A = this chain, B = another copy of it.
Amino acid sequence: MKAIVHVMLKDGVLDPQGDAVRHALGTLGFAGVQAVRQGKVIELDLAATDRAEAEAEVRAMCDKLLANTVIEKYTVAIA
C-alpha cells in the first residue's frame, strides 16, 4: 500500500525558500508569479494492507518524525 504525505509550512510561517524561488522565477522573466510556497512530498511503500490502519500509522510517523508540527502542517493520502 502506498501513502503520499505532503508537508508544508503553516500559513503565516515565513517561507524564505519559497520567496527565493519566486525571486529567481522573476529574474528568469516569469513575471506572473505572485507567491510561492515550498514543501516536501514523501512517498511511502507500506506493508500494511488495511487502509485505515495504514493512514493511522502514517499520521503517527508524521507527528513523530516527518513533520515539525509546531510550524508545519501535513496531509496524508493513501493510494
Contact = CB atoms under 8 A, between A and B. Distances in A.
Contact of A45 (B33, B47, B65): B33
Indicate how many identical chains form the complex. Answer: 2
A43 B66 CA distance: 19
A66 B31 CA distance: 15
A37 interface: yes
A78 B79 CA distance: 20
Contact of A21 (B21, B33, B48, B65): B65
Nearest to A34: B45
A9 to B, nearest CB: 10
20 contacts: A6-B41, A8-B41, A18-B43, A21-B42, A24-B65, A25-B65, A30-B60, A32-B46, A32-B48, A33-B45, A33-B46, A35-B44, A38-B42, A39-B40, A39-B41, A39-B42, A39-B43, A40-B40, A40-B41, A41-B41
